[in-house]
Chain A
Amino acid sequence: MPSALPLGLPAPEDGILPTDAAVGADARDFGLYVHIPFCAVRCGYCDFNTYTATELGGGASQDAYAGSVLTELGLGAVALERSGVPRRPMSTVFFGGGTPTLLPAEDLAAILRAATATWGLEPGAEVTTEANPDSVTPESLRILRDAGFTRVSFGMQSAVPHVLAVLDRTHAPERVPQAVQWARDAGLKVSLDLIYGTPGESIDDWRASLTTALSYGPDHISAYALIIEEGTRLASQIRRGQVPPIDDDDHADKYALADELLTAGGLHWYEVSNWARTPDDACRHNLAYWRGSDWWGAGPGAHSHVGGTRWWNVKHPRAYSTALDTGKSPAAGREILTTADRYVEDVMLRVRLREGLPTGKLAPAGRTAVAGLIADGLVEPAAAFAGRVVLTFRGRLLADAVVRRLLPD
């Protein structure tokens, strides 16, 4: 989650939603995202809303954090109920960060228990936590499994020490297979996050990271091109010429290699940057974002979406805990999506998926554009005739351009 919050409308202190938010809620999945804004060190490329232990204190400390989240969940349940949104059991839960596993496993378990007590948890629900390879132990993973977690996503990023060094990642590469094995032993599904296109990373470095990651037999791999965000240390190093700039062609080459090796390794793309061993191994929580489902996002800076209303919490953990201590919603702002906004988002998000965007969802101008996209080799012709806009390999690399052409006016 990028740290800069959008500009929006003021959010009401009681968290009450507009009446429209409840319409059709029964037919939509409901999920929970919990943001854990703590990291052991601040990485040079990261602009996420996260803080090292020494940066925070008082009510915003790691010790008191779980308590604040529990308060938000309690307020949230009341706000949804008073807004007329029916209570739905959670289909998915996702703990992200930051580094969630910097909190004691018991804290994560307590938050999950409290959320379950509030909303209920669907049978077979997916419960994921992100983790740093060196912030887990066999014990902590077992505690999570016993509390109901089903999946862990490790921030592996690269198998190559000099690349990890540019990213400021502190874990030892050999720690990853160990952590993966512990997670498997605990009965958790495993996903690995990789980053490509780091300054100084050769194509062979990237090949090494991919083959190493595949050799650990994960169920799922996310591979992201490094984005240089304004305000990060890496951005200023590039500006000062200390680190070479990002090259889009290099990114394209590395994306091609990733798709080739991951496919050969038995993983299949289901979203532009995500590959899974079987359809069941896809991250259901993330799919819910792309399909426009409802979710509650708890924690500082977290975004929520319920029935066309999106809101986001105040960014700083101290402001967050202060709002909750006084019984107010920690929301900093919100937006009420118009029909046009929802259409744009639907096209923008669904087109990234292997399942594609149903052509029936497109406005006439968008449908007209499909023929040109097929002609340019960006959209699969067979899928289009079957009623879905599905990106070709080249189309995935140019997905944003495809979206602009599907939304011509």
Chain B
Amino acid sequence: MSPMARTAPVPAATDPAIIRNFCIIAHIDHGKSTLADRMLQLTGAVEQRDMKAQYLDRMDIERERGITIKSQAVRLPWEVDGTSYALNMIDTPGHVDFTYEVSRSLAACEGAILLVDAAQGIEAQTLANLYLAMENNLTIIPVLNKIDLPAAQPEKYAAELASLIGGEPEDVLMVSGKTGVGVEALMDKIVRDLPAPTGDPDAPARAMIFDSVYDTYRGVVTYVRVVDGKLSPRERIQMMSTRASHELLEIGVSSPEPKPSKGLGVGEVGYLITGVKDVRQSKVGDTVTNLHKPAAESLGGYEDPKPMVFSGLYPLDGTDYPVLRDALAKFTLNDAALVYEPETSAALGFGFRVGFLGLLHLEITRERLEREYNLDLISTAPNVEYDVTLEDKRVLKVTNPSEYPMGKIAEVREPMVSATILAPSEFVGAIMELCQQRRGVLGGMDYLSEDRVEIRYRLPLAEIVFDFFDLLKSKTRGYGSLDWKADGDQVSDLVKVDILLQGEQVDAFSAITHRDKAYAYGVMMTGKLRELIPRQQFEVPIQAAIGARIIARESIRAIRKDVLAKCYGGDITRKRKLLEKQKEGKKRMKMVGRVEVPQEAFIAALSSDESKDKAKK
């Protein structure tokens, strides 16, 4: 049995040979937090009595409130054969939209623990991150967790993992984060199997930023992995992508509470505080160097976060607009990927067009805005960014159907993704049908085990942003999982479908779709509106049109009766009050030409809730 380290190596004076940097690749409920808990406990990083207070859960709540230094990287001491090692556990964001952040976390490590639930097998996002780790030449330690569960099938999934990473099923470690079984063996294996970091201690300093977090009290806390040289307190550092320089007010390691140190040397992982207030000044993937003795070349791999999905966010109550504006400004302090600009809709009033990394990012952001700022928001149907080339060769970036040009268009390009879907093999037919309907092109298919397949498709991003994941889940009885990453663009036969009420175009309902799907969209939206818009004193035609060509048509029949039959002495007060109420109600109506459209109709027509409900059923 390995004892906890008697003397922990001191930061800034640690030989790279005794450092091991690793991350845990795992799906969301496969037990990463519980395993991390056990590691904190075993290494003595957290005292036994504090452990009872569920250390990481406390961190989670703090993380939600956005006031803490997250457990982005924890330094754990561990002793093997009489030598004390410093193990840095680096956290990876857990969901599909943050592929780039994951890639930077992986780039900070020499090895990765592939943690898979022994009752469920590997999921698509885990597989995608595993491939990413393998591309980065990380050493992989395969681990099956929750082996204490009655439903665990360790042999089956060990074979699956072995075939994925090219080892033997016997090499797969069996652990239980819950009971602690196998965790010490895992710690030992990390020390023995993972390579130590290498770097030039005498070269100009180079450290890679793998995360940065805004903290209300301390400003931005930046997490780095030092590759070459050394970073010390009070020196002036420079961000190599922006050339901006800052003073290093504090430098240290998390273990897991922040502990200032005399610096960070080659291979070490820790945090920097410079007093900046916006995570955009400390970008994930950027290289930190010394201002006066700068490195000639950055570590590379830096990319600006690129919003992929755009949606209009509008407060239900127009007077909440300033609250939404302030909330978005605060959110961007801690979310470098979030971009927004003011937008006005004839139908919905004042709001913002917001760009997100993906649909999940959109949903999380919207949910947090509503919860933390007590807002009721309408989000318009999500759009991707189209490159529209006009006949005069001008190129427009279109993220909102209302910006789609009227005139002659030479070409429209739409963003593509490569998607990986993992599911039990019985659902292959259903998945292929879904992807085919969504204009997907099959890239390949592999069996992970006898009854589990990996299916790869290239799909237009626009086809997966709305309800694709929900449909995938419902078609695979919840077993299917999806991962995607951007994969260039392609020219497509796209058109803008407008919706007209009594001949008047309604901006909020326009959509950019593939020509083959324009009709289906037109029929769906005109049908929905016929149900949602109350009858008026005149017949209201609802049309869907591409340019001047009508492709679908519905009509709302004129209301024929709108009169209270009885109005005698005892009815007058009630009737007058009803009239006043109707007048108030009319103020909440949006006028489209002569047609009164209730606010609720806009919300219902634009929300994706319906498709979600369908998927749930």
Contacts and interface: CB of A to CB of B under 8 A. Distances in A.
A6 B574 contact: yes
Nearest to B572: A345
B572 A404 contact: no
A376 interface: yes
Contacts of B566: 224, 227, 273
B373 interface: no
Interface stretch (A109-117, A206-214, A294-302): A294-302
A376 B561 contact: no
Contact of B569 (A224, A252, A273, A297): A297
Among B537, B571, B583, B586, residue most surrounded by chain A Cβ atoms (within 10 Å): B537
Nearest to A302: B570
A248 B573 contact: no
A174 interface: no
Interface in B566-592: 566-577, 579-580, 582-583, 586
B286 to A, nearest CB: 59
B564 A227 contact: yes
B220 to A, nearest CB: 53
Nearest to A197: B565
Contact of B582 (A224, A352, A404): A404
B49 interface: no
B560 interface: yes
Contacts of A203: none
B538 interface: yes
Contacts of A302: 570
Contacts of B575: 348
B560 A252 contact: yes
Contact of A376 (B537, B562, B570): B537
A344 B559 contact: no
A303 interface: yes
B565 A348 contact: no
Interface string A389-400: 000000011111
Interface centre among A6, A8, A227, A396 (most CB of B within 10 A): A6
A335 interface: yes
B587 to A, nearest CB: 11
Contacts of B559: 248, 398, 401
B406 interface: no
Contacts of B582: 404
Interface string B320-337: 000000000000000000
Contacts of B574: 2, 4, 6
Nearest to A303: B570
B576 A345 contact: yes
B560 A303 contact: no
Contacts of B577: 6
Contacts of A401: 537, 559, 562
A310 B571 contact: no
B364 interface: no
B53 interface: no
B569 A303 contact: yes
Contacts of B573: 6, 8, 303, 310, 312, 335
Interface in A347-372: 348-349, 352
B564 A400 contact: yes
Interface string A262-304: 0000000000110000000000001001100001010001110
A125 to B, nearest CB: 17
Nearest to B563: A399
B250 to A, nearest CB: 63
**Interface range on chain B (Cβ under 8 Å from partner):** 20 to 34
Nearest to B564: A400
A11 to B, nearest CB: 13
Contacts of B579: 344, 348, 400, 403-404, 407
B572 A398 contact: no
A1 interface: yes
A397 B563 contact: yes
A6 B583 CA distance: 19
Pick the most buried of B559, B573, B586: most chain A CB atoms within 10 A of its CB. Answer: B573
Interface string A221-232: 000110100000
A225 B560 contact: no
Contact of A225 (B565, B570, B571, B580): B565
B576 A397 contact: no
B572 to A, nearest CB: 6
A397 B571 contact: no
A320 interface: no
A204 interface: no
A6 B577 CA distance: 9
B569 A397 contact: no
A305 B576 CA distance: 14
Nearest to A4: B574
A195 to B, nearest CB: 9
A289 B572 contact: yes
A255 interface: yes
Interface in A295-323: 295, 297, 301-303, 305, 310, 312
A286 B568 contact: yes
Contact of B576 (A251, A341, A396, A404): A341
A335 B570 CA distance: 13
Interface string B396-413: 000000000000000000
A249 B568 CA distance: 24
Contacts of B567: 272, 289-290, 348-349, 352
Nearest to B538: A376
Nearest to B570: A1
B569 A404 contact: no
Interface in B158-185: none
Interface string A214-247: 0000000000110100000000000000000000
A30 interface: no
A33 interface: yes
A33 B569 contact: yes
Given A224-B565, A398-B537, A1 B560 contact: no
Interface string B529-573: 000000001100000000000000000000111111111111111
Contact of A348 (B562, B570, B576): B576
Contact of B563 (A8, A33, A272, A305): A272
A398 B568 CA distance: 18
A247 to B, nearest CB: 10
Contacts of A2: 570-571, 574
Contacts of A4: 574
B151 to A, nearest CB: 43
Contacts of B568: 1, 286, 289
Contacts of A399: 562-563
A330 to B, nearest CB: 15
Given A33-B569, A404-B582, A398 B576 contact: no
A201 B292 CA distance: 93
A248 B566 CA distance: 15
Nearest to B536: A401
B563 A404 contact: no
A383 B565 CA distance: 23
A6 B564 CA distance: 18
A252 B557 CA distance: 13
A273 B571 CA distance: 14
Contacts of A376: 537-538
Nearest to A1: B570
Contacts of A6: 573-574, 577
Closest 7 CB pairs of A and B: A1-B570, A252-B560, A399-B563, A224-B565, A225-B565, A303-B570, A252-B561
Given A248-B559, A345-B576, A399-B562, 6 more contacts: A225-B561, A251-B561, A289-B572, A297-B570, A400-B579, A404-B583
11 contacts: A6-B573, A8-B573, A33-B569, A224-B565, A248-B560, A248-B561, A255-B561, A273-B566, A305-B572, A310-B573, A403-B579
Interface of A: 1-2, 4, 6, 8, 33, 224-225, 227, 248-249, 251-252, 255, 272-273, 286, 289-290, 295, 297, 301-303, 305, 310, 312, 335, 341, 344-345, 348-349, 352, 376, 378, 396-401, 403-404, 407
